[in-house]
Amino acid sequence: MADVDETRVLLPRQASFTTAVEDSNIPFLENAHRPRGGIRIELSTLFRDSIPELDSNRLCRHHWTSWPQRAVHRRLFRHVGLSLFVLSGWCVALGGTTALDTLGSQSFTGGKRSTDLSVHFQRCVVLLWILFIPVAVVWFNISRILLALGQDARLSYDTESYLRILAFGGPGYIAFESLKKYLQCQGIMRGSTIVLVIVSPLNAALNIVLVHYTPLGYLGSALALSLMYWVAFALLAIYAWLSPTHQHNNTWGGIRPRQVFDFHNCLLFLKLALPGILMVGTEWAAFEIVALAAGRLGSLSLAAQSVIMTTDQILNTIPFGIGIAASTRVGNFIGARSASGAKAAGHLSALLSTITGFIVMVLLLCTKDVYGYIFSDDAAVVHLVAQVMPLVASFQIADGLAGSCGGVLRGLGRQHLGALFNLVAYYVMALPMGLALAFHWHLGLQGLWIGQVVALFIVGIGEYVVVWLCTDWEKEVERGIERNNVGGSED
């Protein structure tokens, strides 16, 4: 991307999309809007951009969460909810980097200089490392908290040992996610997938070696994860350095500590990052609470819950990928001063997620009676999965809307609305309802998932209404101009 002339900030708000794109000189936006075929082109672009992130997210979830649960004593995860504590750290990375969905994507097409994006990236890494410090302090002293909660002493100390080692990988994961978003803001979507294809088998092999063939035992899993986070970051950095597209964009301007630590820009970043962390964390924690509650229903419900959660995690990568593509496209269009382009990208991402959600819903309903056999030979488990599966199928469209429209909100810099919807939907309504249905009304696992269905419909429909009816796209362009003026680097 060429450096932008100062007069660009004076572009009239009524400037056409075509003019804005031509001025922004962004190759991958040039053909996004045409008199004929514009909808088809934008849909295909969203679909194409979502595929690498779908694959990347699936690889992340499988190899960076399932392997430790296989390697570590399963009772450790289930009894003290270790995964809940781990997610507290990863939310800093996944939620905090949503600020780059806004600032990075908008600055790439609308910043005063091409190197503004690299300043946002560096600020993201540094500030999220700082935010991770209190999480690491809690991890290093988690045994005291667990003992105070009445947990078994051995499990408490084992958990602390595991998290202490894992804490050293936290900064590596934050750096990896930040660099991934930095590249995605430029339309470079495949880098993280390529890296994870390389890292995932290395992670699996290292887990096996360290856990089974060294004195480390289950702690070897934490060490393997920590090392692989840093390896993934290093490989993605090499990919960025070698990428012809990245070189052509000329977005890297070197280390800029003075610009990175600018007080006003740090506040601007945190105003987006903190709600993003809350937006991601509230949803994840709600599903973890449901998983822990399922354990209180007995071994049968726990086995069925494991099948359903695994399925949901796999299926969730579809709207998640669409949401990532939507946040980048909307942010790029806002930066390019194109209200019409941003609006089209937002609505078409919702349409794409609805179509995919409907297809998945039909497939789940058609296979509900036999689906459980993929994971278990126990007829009782398969029968319980078949009873709950219609509920899982019913929220696929709502989950799709939540994923895509959540991405649109991130591209607009309205993460606080996503966090608000999640707080109300899950903690005011869904969890109390689900727990009451499960334990007081004796609906068991079905009761827990009825609550989750209600939450996802509230979030999905609510966010869609905001995108469809409550968004002034011209005003969002003006806000984007203000962000780029405030966030631009200085010579």
Give the DSSP per-residue string, 319-353.
HHHHHHHHHHHHHHHHHTT-HHHHHHHHHHHHHHH
Closest to 443 measured CA to CA, from 313, 312, 301: 301
Q: Where are the domains of the chain?
A: 43-51+71-487
pLDDT over 90 for what percent of the chain? 66
Q: Given this model, what pLDDT does residue 49 score?
A: 84
- Asked whether the beta carbons of 49 and 327 are under 8 A apart, the reply is no
Q: Which pLDDT score is estimated for 71? A: 46
Angle between helices 396-412 and 444-469 (to 10 degrees): 40
On whether the CB atoms of residues 52 and 194 are closer than 8 A, the answer is no
In this prediction, residue 255 carries a pLDDT of 95
Half-sphere exposure of residue 105: CA atoms within 13 angstroms, side-chain side = 35
Cβ proximity of 349 and 329 under 8 Å: yes
At residue 25, the pLDDT reads: 41
pLDDT tens readout for residues 209-250: 998 899 998 888 889 989 999 999 999 999 999 999 999 999
Q: How far is CA 453 from the centre of its chain?
A: 20
Task: Give burial (CB, 10 Å; 0-12/13-18/19+) of 6.
Answer: exposed
Tokens read off for 39: 């909808």
CA nearest 260: which of 369, 133, 456, 119?
119
Report, as ranges of residue numbers, the positions in the chain whose pLDDT lies below 50: 1-27, 30-36, 66-75, 77-81
What type of residue sits at position 129? W
